[in-house]
Amino acid sequence: MQYTFHWDKMFSGEPALWMWEGFVTTLQISTIALICAMILGIIICIMRMVPFKPLQWLSLAYTEFFRNTPLLVQIFFWYNASHFVIPSAINEWMNDLYYWFPGPFSLLGHTFVGEWILFNVELISGVIALTVYSSAFIAEEIRAGIFSIPKNQLEASRAVGLSFLQGYRYVILPQALRIVIPPLISQALNLIKNSSLCMVIGVTDLMYMASQIESYHAIPFEAFSVALLIYLIISLVVSFCITMYNKHFMIQVMY
């Protein structure tokens, strides 16, 4: 049986619209997760560096747990938590607020938040899973960048009157972040590619839309080829950014 290609179907009508929606969803979930992962990664890194043992142990447990468990398992874990546990807790909390303060919450609707989470549970679960998983790697990369900064700079910042956190904020972190920008860009690329796993919980990203096109229009090779090409273009753009950064910034630092 000879396979007949139908490339024209991929660039018109419903398949083209679905692929565009999947592309937008992929960028949305990746961008939100990347921003949250950067913020959380910096916080975890600082917790690892502060001279307070409980915070150090907590951040160490966080990084080791999320770095050494499969992302797919984490996605299912957060999906089930967001689908069953979190909405129930929020609705109970909102019900309590509605009971004690019926006036303000009568206009809002005491189940609005819970219903919104249930409606967007797949997207929220995917963002949470990508955030906590990537933040563990980002925290370790930033910590490696901090270790590359001479220790006497922190001591000098303390000597001029800065606190421990101020020394990290104004002296150490700005230098460390410049050093770790290339691996952070690589981590952003990994996050974008890892977002394809969110299709297993129903996130309508590129992979999900490609599988939908396969099911409804019977053009599997064309659908997944276009999805593969889009991921390749994203990867090449990010790789180009890394190359330009290394060429125009890292060489200047060396000199």
Q: How far is the C-alpha of 86 from the C-alpha of 82, rounded, in Å? A: 5
7-250 CATH choice from 1.10.287.80, 1.10.3720.10, 1.10.10.10, 3.40.50.10860: 1.10.3720.10
Encode pLDDT of 201-217 as tens digits: 888 889 999 998 888 88
Encode pLDDT of 137-170 as tens digits: 999 988 888 888 887 887 788 788 888 778 877 8
Percent of the chain whose pLDDT exceeds 70: 82
Q: What is the pLDDT of residue 133?
A: 95
* Domain positions in the chain: 7-250
Closest CA to 74 of 137, 140, 131: 131
CA distances from 89 to 33, 159, 180, 221 (A): 23, 48, 39, 44
C-beta of residue 71 within 8 angstroms of C-beta of residue 133: yes
